[in-house]
């Protein structure tokens, strides 16, 4: 009999087990690839990402309800855990909005020649590092708040991809910078999903609507 039941560890295991299906990786990776393709071919259409992320939410819920819940069941976490998720969404939205505002302000001000030439040249030269750091920060903060450790690796992969592309002379760097880590997430998510489907077949004799069998 355990002398001290580690309730935090049990809660963390319950939480991480609900996310070992790779669905969040697949959805974010897919969005990053689509966004990367849009950026590669038509950078001016960047505002499409808002619609993409709005579409991603029902896609995520649909996949969770049809794949995860019949296999691993459904759990509602305590308000403290839900608060962390709310914080995560708030941080992601805040950083994204701030980055979009700053980028647009820089663009408008540089068009109006309201910025010093040296600053324009600096930001124009290092824009890949700028975006790489912002996106990596979002992923690392996400990894911390969501307690999904693999997102630290995605954050690092994003920073490496953007930094490497800074030194390589190829067209559509921003699009590639998004698509490469997106592909990493998508592929790893698919591997996780296949493993999840193998390890957790649908429970025989149970349905989502009649889970309480006792």
Q: Would you tell me which residues interact with other proteins (CB under 8 A)?
A: 1, 3-5, 7-8, 10-11, 13-14, 17, 65, 69-79, 200, 203, 205-206, 208-214
How far separated are the first and last CA of the chain, in Å rounded? 26
Q: Which of residues 124 and 199 has its CB atom nearest to other proteins in the complex?
A: 199
Smallest separation, CB 30 to other proteins (Å): 22
User: Residue 94: is it exposed, middle or buried by C-beta count within 10 angstroms (0-12/13-18/19+)?
Assistant: exposed
Helix H or strand E segment including 90: helix 79-111
- Greatest Cα pair distance, the chain, in angstroms, is 73
Helix H or strand E segment including 29: helix 23-41
Backbone angles phi, psi at 86, to 5 degrees: -65, -40
Q: Which of residues 52 and 56 has its CB atom nearest to other proteins in the complex?
A: 56
Measured CA to CA, the distance from residue 137 to residue 83 in angstroms comes to 20
CA distances from 209 to 64, 130, 206 (A): 15, 48, 8
Smallest separation, CB 35 to other proteins (Å): 28
Q: Which of residues 125 and 195 has its CB atom nearest to other proteins in the complex?
A: 195
Q: Which of residues 9 and 169 has its CB atom nearest to other proteins in the complex?
A: 9
Smallest separation, CB 22 to other proteins (Å): 17
Smallest separation, CB 88 to other proteins (Å): 18
Smallest separation, CB 195 to other proteins (Å): 15
Nearest one of 189, 180, 135, 143 to 27, comparing CA atoms? 189
Smallest separation, CB 20 to other proteins (Å): 11
Are 190 and 26 spatial neighbours (Cβ–Cβ below 8 Å)? Answer: yes
- Radius of gyration of the chain from its Cα atoms, rounded to whole angstroms: 20
Q: Which of residues 109 and 202 has its CB atom nearest to other proteins in the complex?
A: 202
Q: Which of residues 55 and 75 has its CB atom nearest to other proteins in the complex?
A: 75
């Amino acid at each position: 009999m355990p002398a001290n039941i580690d309730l935090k560890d049990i809660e963390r295991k319950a939480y991480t087990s609900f996310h070992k299906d790779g669905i969040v990786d697949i959805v974010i990776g897919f969005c990053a690839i689509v966004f990367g393709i849009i950026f590669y071919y038509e950078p001016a259409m960047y505002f499409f990402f808002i619609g993409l992320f709005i579409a991603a939410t029902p896609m995520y819920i649909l996949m969770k309800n049809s794949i995860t819940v019949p296999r691993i069941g459904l759990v509602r976490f305590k308000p403290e855990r839900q608060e962390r998720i709310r914080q995560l969404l708030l941080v992601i939205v805040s950083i994204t909005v701030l980055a979009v505002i700053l980028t647009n302000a820089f663009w408008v001000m540089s068009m109006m020649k309201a910025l010093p030439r040296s600053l324009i040249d600096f930001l124009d030269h290092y824009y890949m590092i700028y975006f790489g750091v912002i996106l990596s920060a979002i992923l690392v903060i996400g990894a911390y708040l969501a307690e999904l450790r693999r997102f630290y690796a995605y954050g690092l992969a994003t920073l490496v991809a953007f930094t490497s592309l800074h030194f390589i002379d190829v067209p559509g760097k921003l699009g590639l910078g998004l698509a490469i880590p997106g592909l990493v997430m998508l592929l790893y998510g698919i591997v996780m999903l296949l493993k999840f489907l193998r390890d957790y077949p649908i429970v025989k004799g149970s349905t989502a609507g009649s889970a309480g069998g006792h």
